Structure 1
Amino acid sequence: MTQASETDWRASLPWPGADAHKHARGRLGVVSGKATQTGAARLAARAGLRIGAGVVRILCPPDAAAVIAPAIEAIMLTPFGSAEALAEAAEGMDTVVIGPAAGVNDATQANVRALAGTGAALVVDADGLTVFEGWPADLFAVLDRDDVLTPHEGEFKRLFPDLLAKGREAAAREASRRAGAVIVLKGPATVIAGPDGRLAVNGNGVPWLATAGTGDVLAGMIGGLMAQRMDSFDAARAAVWMHAEAARSLGPGLISEDLPERLPLVLAALYPQAG
């Protein structure tokens, strides 16, 4: 086990070269919920853009497009009307985030399965996890080792009801083995576990993150780093650390919308030329 300090993953952060262009920096998709539930996807998408993904696109149900379009600028938008259409819209994406306010319904299950067949790495969060309560094997069957699940303890219990009694570190390790994917067990000391046995515990958590929407930002950050082809385990622990550093710099009064705007300062301090 290692602490998730910046020294462990700093050398693998995906900085752009002098000849970089937007597509070389990675393509990230974020699936939105219905028209009344679009904020979570917008938070995740903005975080993915801020952390360096070159192209970010929100994929949304048709009724949500008119709500999202006036609220985004550099982020692109594609409506979809079925799981098959979602898979087509995700063609060519490096990573897709699904779950934030997606809806706990059959459509979300179908959308996760459809995206799993696209070749994009997945970050599955929130409703994308809860919707498989009672059927965790159905989710695990479509995952691979590059995918990341980001549960808080409540969501974790829905998929792994027997594990938390073992302690958070042992639970995350066993959950990662069962799922065959990276697990980010969120909390004051977030645990990141990989299916290859790697385990890290984040040591810089702050209480200001206990507010609505911060998990959506984290999912977008992880997805943004993965879209830039950073190893999924390293992307998860790097994002967890940077998420907390951004929160620490903001302090009391933090709301989730603040976090993406603080990422340039966190990234600047990590940039090789800054040291």
Structure 2
Amino acid sequence: MEVTTLIRTVGLDLLKPALPQRQLDGHKGTFGKLLIVGGAVGYTGAPYLTASAAVRTGCGLVSLGVPKTIWPIEAAKCVSAMPFPLPEKNGMLAGKALPQILEKLDGCDVLALGPGLGRGRETARLVWELLKTEKPLVLDADGINALSGHIDLLDARRGRPTVLTPHEVEFARIGGDLSRGDRERAAQDFAMAHGCVLVLKGHRTVTASPEGDVLVNTTGGSGLAKGGSGDVLTGVIASLMAQRADALRAAAVGVWLHGRAGDLAEQELTAYSVTPEDVVRKLPDAIREILE
């Protein structure tokens, strides 16, 4: 069946009602509990950036499960999040980490899976098992790569809030079709076929829903073209989901905030000098623009 693509750009009219409200009498539990699973030897920055962005975007409690070898690094860096060590093999998370992850996840609202995870058979199996969770899920980086050849595991999540955040290479690995050069239609086709919210990163990032909604972002520039920027985006989206935003709204608002924070960092530092940490630092200014 032919599907008409109705493309909307993401503006403040959409963002204002979509940003989760802050209750005056709320406490840290009110504003969501997020579990981030990722990290590997050589990839210590990714989970830290995801956690930092999640806290900065308002999540009440952020836990961070990482391989035990890098846990001391994360513990030293993450002042506002709570890293904990997990079993590992060859510097990456091992399959026997699963029971501890599930125990921690039981007390959390959302799982962000993949930042800095690394690529290996055992970590892929871990991803496959965690995809079975009933919890809302944001899948990024090597969490997405683990779906290559196993897209049926994503299909099985239909009906459960699931956000994927691939760049174009990752998108192609899991069956995304960009051969027509139409990013909006490719994102829509994938989201509808697999029952997920698809955030296709790049210039004018496209967010598509299982129902066929297509939202094109207009913020962000070349200052975001740095390793670690995607980890920040994952943290923002997962934080908003933990604060009870639905998957599409969390993705659309998260992409806009991430891009706008990058724009503000560029104004201060130039596109050459922006780092992902600068983007995290500018998130409050981007949030303020929605609130005003």
TM-score over 0.5 (shorter chain): yes
Structure 1: stretches of 5+ with no match in the other structure: none
After TM superposition, give the deviation of residue 143 of structure 1 in Å: 5.4
| Cα displacement string for residues 37-61 of structure 1 (whole angstroms, at most 9, x for unaligned residues) | 2210110111011001000010112
Query: Match for residue 265 of structure 1?
Result: 285
After TM superposition, give the deviation of residue 66 of structure 1 in Å: 1.7
Query: Match for residue 168 of structure 1?
Result: 183
Query: Match for residue 145 of structure 2?
Result: 130
After TM superposition, give the deviation of residue 178 of structure 1 in Å: 2.1
| Cα displacement string for residues 222-262 of structure 1 (whole angstroms, at most 9, x for unaligned residues) | 00000101011011111111111111111121011111111
Query: Match for residue 164 of structure 2?
Result: 149
Q: What SS class does the counterpart of residue 281 from structure 2 fall into? A: helix
The structure 2 residue matched to 1:38, chosen from 40, 44, 55, is 44
What's the RMSD between the two structures over aligned residues? 1.6
The structure 1 residue matched to 2:274, chosen from 254, 260, 267, is 254
Moved over 3 A (4+): 142-145, 161-164
Give the distance between the partners of 1:104 and 1:42, measured in 2 at CA: 19
| Cα displacement string for residues 48-83 of structure 1 (whole angstroms, at most 9, x for unaligned residues) | 110010000101122221221111111012223322
| Cα displacement string for residues 189-235 of structure 1 (whole angstroms, at most 9, x for unaligned residues) | 11100001111011223121111110110011000000101011011
Query: Match for residue 216 of structure 1?
Result: 231
Tell me if structure 2 keeps the 8 A contact 1:202–1:241.
Answer: yes
The answer to whether residue 122 in structure 2 is matched with residue 107 in structure 1 is yes
Query: Match for residue 91 of structure 2?
Result: none
The answer to whether residue 85 in structure 2 is matched with residue 79 in structure 1 is yes
| Cα displacement string for residues 14-35 of structure 1 (whole angstroms, at most 9, x for unaligned residues) | 1211110001100111112224
Query: Match for residue 94 of structure 2?
Result: none
Q: Percent identity?
A: 36
Query: Match for residue 93 of structure 2?
Result: none
| TM-score when normalising by structure 1 | 0.93
Query: Number of residue pairs matched?
Result: 272
The structure 2 residue matched to 1:241, chosen from 247, 251, 256, is 256
Structure 2: stretches of 5+ with no match in the other structure: 1-6, 88-96
Give the distance between the partners of 1:145 and 1:189, measured in 2 at CA: 27
After TM superposition, give the deviation of residue 145 of structure 1 in Å: 4.4
Tell me if structure 2 keeps the 8 A contact 1:123–1:223.
Answer: yes
Residue 44 and residue 164 in structure 1: after superposition, are their counterparts in 2 closer, same or farther (change >3 A)?
A: farther
Tell me if structure 2 keeps the 8 A contact 1:116–1:143.
Answer: no
| TM-score when normalising by structure 2 | 0.88
